[in-house]
Amino acid sequence: MNITINEELRSYIDPLTANEYAALERSILAEGCRDALVLWGEVLIDGHNRYAICQKHGIEFRTVQNANFSTIDDVLLWLIDNHLARRSVSDFQRGVLALRKKDLVAARTRAQQDSALPVVAAELPAPAPIGTREEIAKIAGISSNTISQIEKIQKTAAPELVEAVRAGTISINAAAAVASLPSAEQVAAVAGGKKELQQAAKLVREKKSSARPARTDDPLEAPSAAPAKESEVVNEAANEVALLSARIDELTAENTALKQQIATLNAALEDANRSAASA
């Protein structure tokens, strides 16, 4: 069987982390390759990691054909929808995939409008144009505010910060705040780890909050600058909630660890008492 690897397709979806790849490898070694690889002719379009693991260990695998594609864009749109249907995909990945779908659909629509030649329709139904951030959010299954933050991360975040979001080291809204810093400061925050990233995000929010004009009930004393828009206030509130939620998670983890330590000490004390009683 001839299987061809198309590098554009292989790298189109974010690669698995080292831990995810190791878990997949353990699963295939224990249970075999349960899911069939998907081919378009001889081109592998889904299952690159499974294929690599099976080749490495000489494990058998099945293949299925999907002949409904006319162009590479058809394949890319199918890949996006296929991955968005998986529950294991993170919110950041969902947002990135939905934004890619919007760009693909827009490019296809422009090409069809600009071309004087008849367009050969694909077997798959053509997706409807994606016009608003709300439509993108609906495709991704996340909020429009999160989509806005992901767009900011894509435009201004250093590669190291993007990788930190992908790995779950920092939340999307915290990363969007850190992405407003100079690239060197972003890289330094990532190098400092999770707490350093959270602190950097907090400082950015505090700086933004202090720069906002103070509010007053007396219109004669009100500053000349326009008050913050309602959407900005909502975003700030959401950021604060996320920061508090992250802190709660940290405290919960610390509390759990302390309980485990106490349980271990109690068990050791009971063992010592029993030993002393039997002596």
DSSP 75-135: HHHHHHHHHHT-TTS-HHHHHHHHHHHHHHHHHHHHHHHH--SPPPPPSSPPPPP--SHHH
Threshold 0.85, pTM exceeds: no
Q: What is the pLDDT along the chain (279 residues), one digit of tens a residue?
A: 789 999 999 999 888 888 889 999 999 999 999 999 999 999 999 999 999 999 999 999 999 999 889 999 999 999 999 999 988 899 999 999 999 999 999 888 888 777 654 544 444 556 677 778 899 999 999 999 999 999 999 999 999 999 999 988 999 999 999 999 999 999 999 999 999 999 999 999 998 888 766 555 555 444 444 444 555 556 666 656 666 666 676 667 667 666 766 776 676 677 666 666 666
Q: From residue 84, give the alpha-carbon distance in Å to each of 95, 172, 212, 232.
A: 9, 18, 38, 29
pLDDT of residue 165: 94
**Helix %, strand %, coil % of the chain (to 5):** 65, 5, 30
pLDDT of residue 230: 56
The DSSP result for 87-102, as a single string, is TTS-HHHHHHHHHHHH
Residue in this structure with the two tokens 């913050």, named with its chain if needed = 228
Q: Vertex 134, ends 131 and 135: CA angle to 5°?
A: 50
pLDDT of residue 86: 86
pLDDT of residue 222: 47
For the chain, which residues make up each domain, given as ranges? Answer: 1-67, 71-142
1: number of Cβ within 10 Å: 6
β-pair partners for 64: 38
